[in-house]
Amino acid sequence: MARNITPREQDYSQWYLDIIKVAELADYAPVRGCMVVRPTGYAIWEDLQAKFDRAFKETGHVNAYFPLLIPSSFLRKEAEHVEGFAPECAVVTHAGGEELEEPLVIRPTSETVIGAMYSKWVQSWRDLPLLINQWANVLRWEKRPRLFLRTSEFLWQEGHTAHATAAEAEEETVKMLNVYAKIMKEDMALPVVEGVKSEGERFPGALDTYTCETMVSDTKALQAGTSHFLGQNFARAFSIQFQDQNGEMQYAWTTSWGVSTRMIGAIIMTHSDNDGLILPPRVAPVKAVIVPISKDDAAFAELDAKARELADELNNVLGPLTVRVDEQNHMRPADRFFYHLQRGVPLRLELGEKDAAAGTVRAVRRDTGAREDLKWGELAERVPAILEDIQKSLYEKACAFRDANTYEASSYDELKARLEKGGWVKCFFAGSKEDEKKIKEETQATVRCYPLAEKDRTGKCVYTGKEGAHLAVFAKSY
Amino acid sequence: MARNITPREQDYSQWYLDIIKVAELADYAPVRGCMVVRPTGYAIWEDLQAKFDRAFKETGHVNAYFPLLIPSSFLRKEAEHVEGFAPECAVVTHAGGEELEEPLVIRPTSETVIGAMYSKWVQSWRDLPLLINQWANVLRWEKRPRLFLRTSEFLWQEGHTAHATAAEAEEETVKMLNVYAKIMKEDMALPVVEGVKSEGERFPGALDTYTCETMVSDTKALQAGTSHFLGQNFARAFSIQFQDQNGEMQYAWTTSWGVSTRMIGAIIMTHSDNDGLILPPRVAPVKAVIVPISKDDAAFAELDAKARELADELNNVLGPLTVRVDEQNHMRPADRFFYHLQRGVPLRLELGEKDAAAGTVRAVRRDTGAREDLKWGELAERVPAILEDIQKSLYEKACAFRDANTYEASSYDELKARLEKGGWVKCFFAGSKEDEKKIKEETQATVRCYPLAEKDRTGKCVYTGKEGAHLAVFAKSY
């Protein structure tokens, strides 16, 4: 049934790009490495934004906006930070018809410029905690761009908080990781594992980086969101100081955390098939489509009117504009079905003359293809229930796939052999940053994280032989 | 009563900046000309975004995202466009550690890059109209920046539509002008006049620019939003062509329209006084604050609990988090009152021990200072009613002020004399772009618009003496 889509088994990368193309999610921009997020893709982003934004506000955060351009000297104030980001920066050297005295970089992330502002705003313990989030575009020049997953410009949110104590900042870091994981599991149906990054994979300038790692359908890992405990590194670099309750000056403790448009790539890769996009209903902008069908114009008009009536009823239950009517009656029914199937609409409701005579619609699930006749009067109850069932099935399927492709290794040879066949491999690991580098050279895989759920398991490191090593997940990744 | 604010009569510019400072709406960024929108300012922007976005969607538009960086050659494809924008552009010459082959400009507006994408997406008349909006940051290098009104980087939305006929595109241009004007009048309480720009004030590349012009409290004009009929200029420059129903290739007709964070400047300047910010309730993120007051800790705890209960009740009616409780009991009552007054909260509800004994709160309006005791049981009904009255009063006051400061002139001498004293001056005008330039040199004023409501009034041009001239508004502007 697949048209215009390279089968996943044949070429996974091309399959992914073909889905984006047929579902009209994104397009390449005229500038290399940059993308255009098309309306159908942007609608997914808007929906994700709304969900995350609500969760941020419920946890006491407010939004603000910081500038796009950062003096290049700012980046150099934190040694690890500049080393990590300077090679990826785009640099503005001229503006307003003149050469600038100091070049400006387009923000690759905003710790530095936000640090400079926080040092002005934070004076006393009463000003803390400062809990601010920003929705913005950032730019990191990409040599090997891939739509959604790795583009030079991308959209994201970056939370930046300042606290009076290390404990409070660490609590915030983990709290936001959990906010991310909850939405990713419950709404995006991603089989994420929460964990801590190894030294070699930490955010440049962080003491600890927490991550939501997910497995996509070729068994590679994808980092879907990260939360960083920055200690006092940025507070010292930018002089974020406050007078504590005893009248003494202290440096603040800061965090930062972000998720981006790359999450859309994770959704596509996790759930889709060779026919096209599959979207979990809770993040699908269009949750169901009603397709009235008749070769007779008068009959079509009647069916169309009924379809609109049913859609209005469903939109009252599911939210405005989430159920649409397909009026492309100039196309063949099979083409109209395929149109919505490729675009990942979770449920199709066909309304032909025979269905109308029976007072039913033929419901077809995108995930399984299962068909069922539903009475008009029961739609308001049954459609939300079917959508919830699709949501649940997709998550369970993704978790089962992750578990079936996760292995354990008790020696480095076993780890290497297993990684060659794909999947995630768990083993005890206590190697250094340099060890990680060597393993990456040999296996193309990295430590994705030390899973929090298994932090109490310790054993002998497969690489160094050290005892008391924690359990790590190794995998190739996007 | 004013503290930290320069009186408006003494220094209007400083008064404006002082209000932004005390209300914590925005701050200067480390890069000259750029701003940080602080949480209280950003909350206003989020509220405006939600209102405009809803109106765009109700009129059939969808959102998308186009890239920040534009090849510099794109700008040159439309002659007037490059002349208008090139001098204000910021230019990226290096990225990823290398010098770029072609410099990239940071978008000053996106007609060019969107035009390039539309030429790919539009093939047939079935692809039209294409009705896309983008929320984004843009950059136009400013020599004389002023927070919100003129900053090098600002946030805005830009709608870009393509149509099969000139008539449809013109209809869209005016439709979106009316969408803007409605929200500005009804929600922002701005006394806007809808009009057409003169040749000299048109968007570079447009055939016609429509504008919402508003009068702020020093009687100057401020352009609050614009909508452009671009004809086929950009369609020709970027080859946006479609096959019509007769199978013939045609160039599309395009429009663009935008509003930006400068609207926040318009709100501040229109309504505020020497005590600080005044916000129309419909755009105020915090619509009312309840202030429990007692020197006794136990009594305060009881009042605070009651205040939270009342706030919950009001939030159910007015929307989540729109009514807050002030718990800063370590401050003097007068300071707590002033805190919210300076920040423009429309209604203050004081709850002292005497009020509690009487089962009332003391309501104080920000706009008039009027006080009234309200029974707890009637708050859910009375508070929304008072807020609506404040909304109405602010709009009526602003319209009355605009009308009282609008004059007519029947000769050029009269026009010049009147403009020196401030205000808007209406007169018949049919001068050329060059005439406009000379008048600006002599008066510092420009044609703000030809008001649509008075388009049928014609007479003798005060400058050229031509008959049949339309009525124009001249004014100094921001």
- DSSP assignments along A66-125, one per residue: --SEEEHHHHTTSHHHHHHHGGG-EEEEEETTEEEEEEEEEPSS-HHHHHHHHHHH--BG
Residue B104, both tokens: 């990239």
| Residues of chain B contacting A95 with CB distance shorter than 8 Å | 89-91, 141, 152
| Residues of chain B contacting A152 with CB distance shorter than 8 Å | 95
Sheet holding B323-325, edge to edge: B323-325, B288-292, B347-351, B360-365, B371-375
Percent of all residues in chain B with a pLDDT value above 70, rounded to a whole number: 100
Question: By CA distance, what is A24's nearest residue in B?
Answer: B121
CATH architecture for the domain at B12-271: 2-Layer Sandwich (3.30)
CB A423 within 8 A of CB A219: yes
DSSP state of A425: E
Average pLDDT over residues B160-168: 98
Alpha-carbon span A69 to A364, nearest angstrom: 49
Tell me the pLDDT of chain B averaged across its residues: 96
Q: How far is A66 from chain B (nearest CA, A)?
A: 5
- Point out the residues of chain A with pLDDT beneath 70: 1-2
| Residues of chain A contacting B91 with CB distance shorter than 8 Å | 92-95
Average pLDDT over residues B244-272: 98
Beta carbons of B92 and A87 less than 8 Å apart = no
Beta carbons of B63 and A42 less than 8 Å apart = yes
DSSP secondary structure of A266-311: HHHHHH-BTTB----GGG-SS-EEEEE--SSHHHHHHHHHHHHHHH
Contacts of A19 (CB under 8 A, 6+ apart): A5, A25, A268, A272, A276, A277, A342
CA-to-CA dists, residue A284 to A188, A260, A287, B58, B425, angstroms = 9, 17, 6, 20, 53
| Residues of chain A contacting B321 with CB distance shorter than 8 Å | 57
Alpha-carbon span A155 to A138, nearest angstrom: 6
| Residues of chain A contacting B41 with CB distance shorter than 8 Å | 64
Alpha-carbon span A399 to B245, nearest angstrom: 50
Beta carbons of A91 and B93 less than 8 Å apart = yes
Contacts of B363 (CB under 8 A, 6+ apart): B347, B348, B349, B350, B371, B372, B373, B374, B382, B383, B386
Site from A31, A38, A101, A110 to mutate, B interface, most B CB atoms within 10 angstroms: A31
Question: By CA distance, what is A69's nearest residue in B?
Answer: B31
Residue B26, both tokens: 């925005």
CB B328 within 8 A of CB B289: no
Q: How far is B124 from chain A (nearest CA, A)?
A: 15
Total residues belonging to chain B:
478
**Exposed/middle/buried for B148, CB within 10 Å: 0-12, 13-18, 19+?**
buried
Beta carbons of A36 and B65 less than 8 Å apart = yes
Site from B36, B63, B119, B127 to mutate, A interface, most A CB atoms within 10 angstroms: B36
Q: Which band of pLDDT confidence, cut at 50, 70 and 90, is reported for residue B83?
A: confident
Per-residue confidence (pLDDT) for residue B80, from 0 to 100? 84
Amino acid found at B90: A
Q: Which CATH class is domain A286-393?
A: alpha beta
Q: Which of B7-16, B74-83, B223-232, B269-278 has the lowest mean pLDDT?
A: B74-83
Residues in a beta bridge with A99: A94
Contacts of B475 (CB under 8 A, 6+ apart): B215, B219, B220, B221, B419, B423, B424, B425, B445, B446, B448
Residue A294, both tokens: 């008749």
Beta carbons of B30 and A57 less than 8 Å apart = no
Alpha-carbon span A448 to A202, nearest angstrom: 10
Per-residue confidence (pLDDT) for residue A338, from 0 to 100? 96
Q: Is B367 left (phi over 0), alpha (psi -120 to 50) or beta?
A: alpha
Contacts of A372 (CB under 8 A, 6+ apart): A362, A363, A386
Per-residue confidence (pLDDT) for residue B1, from 0 to 100? 46
Residue B3: pLDDT over 80: no
Q: Which of A117-121, B76-80, B253-257 has the lowest mean pLDDT?
A: B76-80
Task: Dump pLDDT digits (tens) for B377-430.
Answer: 999 999 999 999 999 999 999 999 999 999 999 999 999 999 999 999 999 999
Task: Dump pLDDT digits (tens) for A69-113.
Answer: 999 999 888 888 888 888 899 999 999 999 999 999 999 999 999
CATH dotted code for B406-475: 3.30.110.30
Peptide bond into A129 cis (omega under 30): yes
Per-residue confidence (pLDDT) for residue A1, from 0 to 100? 46
Question: By CA distance, what is A25's nearest residue in B?
Answer: B64
DSSP state of B422: -
Q: How far is A217 from chain B (nearest CA, A)?
A: 27
Tell me the domain boundaries of chain A.
Answer: 12-271, 286-393, 406-475
Per-residue confidence (pLDDT) for residue B96, from 0 to 100? 92
Q: Which CATH class is domain B288-386?
A: alpha beta
Alpha-carbon span B122 to B16, nearest angstrom: 46
Instruction: Give the nearest partner residue to A113 out of B30, B62, B89, using CB atoms.
Output: B30
Residue B3, both tokens: 């503290």
Alpha-carbon span B110 to B85, nearest angstrom: 11
Beta carbons of A37 and B64 less than 8 Å apart = yes
Per-residue confidence (pLDDT) for residue A82, from 0 to 100? 84
Q: How far is B205 from chain A (nearest CA, A)?
A: 20
Beta carbons of B69 and A31 less than 8 Å apart = yes
